[in-house]
Amino acid sequence: MDVVKEILTKIKMYQTIIIHRHQRPDPDAIGSQAGLAEILRESFPEKNIYQVGGPVEGLEFLAQMNEVSDETYKNALVIVTDTANSPRISDERYDLGAELIKIDHHPNDDPYGDLVWVNTKASSCSEIIADFYHLNQDELVLNSNAARLLYAGIIGDTGRFLYPSTTPHTLEVAAELMSFDFNPAELNRELEQIPMNVAKLAGYVYQNIEVDEQGAAKVILPQSLLDEYGIVDSDTAAIVSLPGVIDEVLAWGIFVEQPQGYYRVRLRSKGPVINELAKKHHGGGHPLASGANAKDQKEIKAIYEAIQKLCKEYKK
């Protein structure tokens, strides 16, 4: 039995299913998590299906989280979507269930769970959940809200189909999801629009970006700046892709100071592989989109020098 059928078999076995995703969620985290929950609620109305985790940080228009007690985990099946490493799972009670399933599209460096389905060729975890439905559509039901959520996850992780992860299959899946009863244009606007203070931060990024002759770029966002603009860390997600529109930029790091004093590092690339660099600094992710951490300016310097080296080698 392949892993897809094994997952469906496990879902059928359990009366209670609790679905987690990663901390600081993006549209794909919410889309895959809540999208799967919607499919299972529609397909198995007699089951108790919950989507859980911390704050959704500005994505409330996509889905809300359920509150569950520790007791609910007893004899429950737990599924985690879009989360490469177990420390990043939002709500550490994920291991209180009877069995654990991991569904993801990141490199499988941390193969936690009793069942693992990882497809690194998928554009997003939402695409994988859509595939899960298609592979079992004789037994599963996809409703309009599930389609809306999965579509949001796909356009979020593909940058509205601009990123290299977009494949012909991705577009086929997205096209079918668009045939359901929701407004894709309105959803795109909701995902795209930013508040004025974040727009001003975007201006700061363009004014203060540092780019070397190899196309390696960096921007440092100190906590004092975030306080001045009235911005929290989750708001900075909207500006991560901005350096990529600059023709001279090949790979970049955005270093966001946290209230605790360390820096959250967002790494992006148009070619050089940067996830191995991220792993060296308490992070990881995709070859061209990863995250890491830097404890101080010295570590920022080391990360940026590594980006410079990667860009130089890539251009040889």
Helix (H), strand (E), coil (C) string for 208-250: HCEECCCCEEEEEECHHHHHHHCCCHHHHHHHCCHHHHCCCCC
Task: For residue 303, give the 3-state DSSP assignment.
Answer: helix
Among residues 39, 34, 9, 193, the alpha carbon closest in space to that of 101 is found at 9
pLDDT at 101: 98
Tell me the backbone φ, ψ of residue 109, rounded to 5 degrees.
Answer: -75, -20
At residue 1 the predicted structure's pLDDT band, cuts being 50, 70 and 90, is: low
Surface-to-core class of residue 66, CB atoms within 10 Å of its CB (0-12 exposed, 13-18 middle, 19+ buried): middle
Round to whole Å and give the CA distance between 152 and 273.
26
- pLDDT over 90 (residue 185): yes
Is the confidence at residue 233, as pLDDT, over 90? no
HSE-CB for 254 with a 13 A CA cutoff: 24
What are the chain's domains? 3-191 (3.90.1640.10), 196-315 (3.10.310.30)
Enumerate residues 6+ apart whose C-beta is below 8 A from 133.
Answer: 39, 140, 142, 146
Cβ–Cβ under 8 Å, residues 230 and 189: no
How far is Cα 199 from Cα 215, in angstroms, rounded to an integer?
A: 24
> What CA–CA distance (Å, rounded) separates 253 from 91?
28
Please state the rounded mean pLDDT for residues 263-267. Answer: 96
C-alpha–C-alpha distance, residues 170 and 56, integer Å: 25
Name the phi and psi angles at 63, rounded to 5. Answer: -165, 155
- How far is Cα 167 from Cα 276, in angstroms, rounded to an integer? 24
Using the predicted structure, report yes or no on whether residue 9 has a pLDDT greater than 90. Answer: yes
245, 246, 251, 256 alpha-carbon torsion, rounded to 10°: -80
pLDDT per residue as tens digits for the range 16-36: 999 999 998 999 999 999 999
Q: What is the mean pLDDT of residues 176-196?
A: 95
Res 286: pLDDT: 87
Cα pseudo-dihedral 245, 246, 251, 253, rounded to 10: -90
Residue 131 burial class via C-beta count within 10 angstroms: exposed 0-12, middle 13-18, buried 19 and up:
middle
Partners of 292 in beta bridges? 265
CB-count burial class (<10 Å; 0-12, 13-18, 19+) for 205: middle
Which percentage of the chain shows pLDDT scores above 90?
Answer: 90
Average pLDDT, integer, range 304-311: 97
- Is residue 44 within 8 A of residue 60, CB to CB? The reply is no
Is 125:32 a contact under the CB 8 Å cutoff? yes
- Over residues 261-269, the mean pLDDT reads 96
Q: Assign 255 a pLDDT band (cuts: 50, 70, 90).
A: very high
Minimum mean pLDDT range among 146-160, 207-221, 277-291:
277-291
- pLDDT range class, residue 232, cuts 50, 70, 90: confident
pLDDT band of residue 59 (cuts 50, 70, 90) is very high
Determine the Cα–Cα distance for residues 137 and 203; give it in Å rounded to an integer. 47
